[in-house]
Structure 1
Amino acid sequence: MAGRSKRFGSIALGLACLAVAGGVAWSLFANRPDSFAGQDTPGNTTASIEPAGNTGPSGLPLPRFVSLKAEKVNVRRGPSSDHPVAWVFQRKGMPVEIVAEFENWRRIRDSEGEEGWILQSMLTGKRTAIVAPWRGHKTTPMHSAPNKDASLSAMLTGGVMGEVGHCDGKWCKLSTGGYEGFVEQAGLWGVYPGELVD
């Protein structure tokens, strides 16, 4: 009977040590700067962050496209300057999609699908677009008029960025690298299919 009690005591002690080791490992992982574990996520801190219907707390539509106002813009892991910088955009005018709002912070998505938080003051309503980033280096035609039969103004490589003049739902007038013309709206990232842009 005494032998059995010693064996159960050893098993209990072993399980307790395992639990402590697991707790230590978890606390180390949770405090890593590149981990979200242990941090409040915006969705956990307030319900106003997630898009409610099609309008954000600002009264503007969600989602919506905007562009970067500055040459260098920090993208953070959460909606405050206390959150670490996830990456830095280094191109003024780059289009991004606002998918959520929290106070003066905007959760954005880039053309590669990455998401992070940017101060609202670093964004502008000026519309820009990226030519078919999903097509790699394949070219997209820019026409002189909003028609596939119109003469070519240029052939644009996937990933080229341009300024959007207007879109009629099928075609967008785009200016880039000294060229101006019309590109099929479905071939641009920075405008929604069928969206009218003035």
Structure 2
Amino acid sequence: MMRPVILCALALCLLLIPAFQAAAQDRGPVTNLPLPRFVSMKAAEGNVRRGPSLTHQIDWIFKRRDAPLIITAEHGHWRRVEDRDGVGGWVHYSLLSGTRTAIVEHDMLDLLARPTEGALVVARLELGVIARLEQCESEWCRMNAGGFRGWARKDALWGIGPDEVFD
């Protein structure tokens, strides 16, 4: 009578192994932080290489401090990143910051005093402006851009996941 129970438990374990492997693959092998994840450029310039070492060719140079990037892979001290246009490569981790920023994706985006439609407009942000994220809720992010602080709709920004929230 014990054999069917053992066989069922074994079958259940075999079914769950792929789920555990997928969960393990969602974490970076070096940092154990989630992949993909957003970061920003700490440096004013950063070489983007074809592979994770100084011997790999430099394909281009990121030249925008605080630009949001998404990390898609890790290898030693190197991170594979992409910008909002999907352009990417390998950069040294020392060029990156955990400080969260976002790029405005809609021209003349209203920065509001409160996270509600119709709230007082604090400023209007041009397409491509980089803002520092302070807090993100389900639909809104509180941010600071050029000395102006307020709330913007999350779907008008690149640098924050649609389901991501933080304080």
TM over 0.5: yes
Query: 2:97 maps to what in 1?
Result: 124
In structure 2, runs of 5+ residues without a counterpart are 1-22
Work out which of the residue numbers 109, 131, 139 in structure 2 matches 1:170.
Answer: 139
Work out which of the residue numbers 54, 59, 64 in structure 2 matches 1:81.
Answer: 54
Partner SS state of residue 197, structure 1: coil
Structure 2 CA distance for aligned equivalents of residues 149 and 53 of structure 1 = 42
Query: 1:55 maps to what in 2?
Result: 27
Structure 1 CA distance for aligned equivalents of residues 86 and 130 of structure 2 = 17
User: Cα offset for 1:84?
Assistant: 1.1
User: Cα offset for 1:53?
Assistant: 2.7
- TM-score of the two chains, using structure 1 as the length reference: 0.70
| Structure with more relative contact order (C-alpha pairs < 8 Å, separation 6 or more) | 2
Alignment of 1:145-160 (within 5 A): 145-160=114-129
Using the aligned pairs only, state the percent identity.
42
Partner SS state of residue 121, structure 1: helix
Structure 1 stretches of 4+ with a deviation exceeding 2 A read none
Looking at secondary structure, tell me which structure has more helix per residue. Answer: 1
Structure 2 CA distance for aligned equivalents of residues 75 and 126 of structure 1 = 20
Structure 2 CA distance for aligned equivalents of residues 140 and 103 of structure 1 = 39
Partner SS state of residue 94, structure 2: helix
Instruction: Tell me whether 1:114 sits opposite 2:100 in the alignment.
Output: no
In structure 1, runs of 5+ residues without a counterpart are 1-50
- The amino acid of 1:96's aligned partner reads L
Query: 2:108 maps to what in 1?
Result: 139
- TM-score of the two chains, using structure 2 as the length reference: 0.82
Aligned length: 144
Structure 2 CA distance for aligned equivalents of residues 170 and 130 of structure 1 = 16
- The amino acid of 2:153's aligned partner reads E
Query: 1:68 maps to what in 2?
Result: 41
